[in-house]
Amino acid sequence: DTAVSQTPKYLVTQMGNDKSIKCEQNLGHDTMYWYKQDSKKFLKIMFSYNNKELIINETVPNRFSPKSPDKAHLNLHINSLELGDSAVYFCASSHGGKVLTFGAGSRLTVL
Amino acid sequence: ELKVEQNPLFLSMQEGKNYTIYCNYSTTSDRLYWYRQDPGKSLESLFVLLSNGAVKQEGRLMASLDTKARLSTLHITAAVHDLSATYFCAVDVSGTASKLTFGTGTRLQVTL
């Protein structure tokens, strides 16, 4: 069983479109995250939710909107996609401040 | 703003050799992580270092933390090809694993 699963794994879309990435964890963790890895492999946190409550909201365009329907799920919706949004988006989870477990990543390409 | 720097950014080494990757950070922290990422893959946790002087070892990799110097090292002993990957250190200053700041990554290539 995959601990942190993301869908889709690959996403190719046109500028201006809206897209979503879904994430689910079956580890019973209480905190979930979205990280963005750019083309230079630099990783940066975007959002974090603890028990469905937003606790970290980094300087991210408001075209990005996370949503956590329950503590096992954290989705990322992106409006009006831009070329600069092309990246790999990683979902992760942790419990009680312990080490993060990452998903396999979702590679978004905006044309 | 917390800055986390790794060096070198790229390391090509022969099998059997030893080398060290360095991770410097700019703000006091006593919680540092090392992750490994294979090309096109996810990040795999290697080590969690939670206090000054902490040392952890797994196979040919050994990580240490000096919180006074704000420095962590990842030492590779007798490298093998399977260790080829990108290695990231990440620092947490929030007291929980809620806001990791990652280093730039070190791409390690072990040649036969």
Task: Output the pLDDT for position A98.
Answer: 77
Query: A31–B97: do the CB atoms touch at under 8 Å?
Result: yes
| Contact across the interface for A43 and B42, Cβ inside 8 Å | no
B97 pLDDT above the threshold of 60: no
B42 touching chain A per CB within 8 A: yes
Render pLDDT for B48-88 as a digit per residue (tens, 0 to 9).
998 888 999 999 999 999 999 999 999 999 999 999 999 99
Task: Give the confidence band of A56 by pLDDT, cuts at 50, 70, 90.
Answer: confident
Residue B96: predicted pLDDT: 57
Task: Dump pLDDT digits (tens) for B13-62.
Answer: 999 999 999 999 998 887 899 999 999 999 999 999 988 889 999 999 99
User: A41 and B86: CB-CB below 8 Å?
Assistant: yes
Q: A7-10: which pairs have CB atoms within 8 A and are 24 or more residues apart?
A: A7/A106, A8/A106, A9/A104, A9/A105, A9/A106, A9/A107, A10/A106, A10/A107, A10/A109
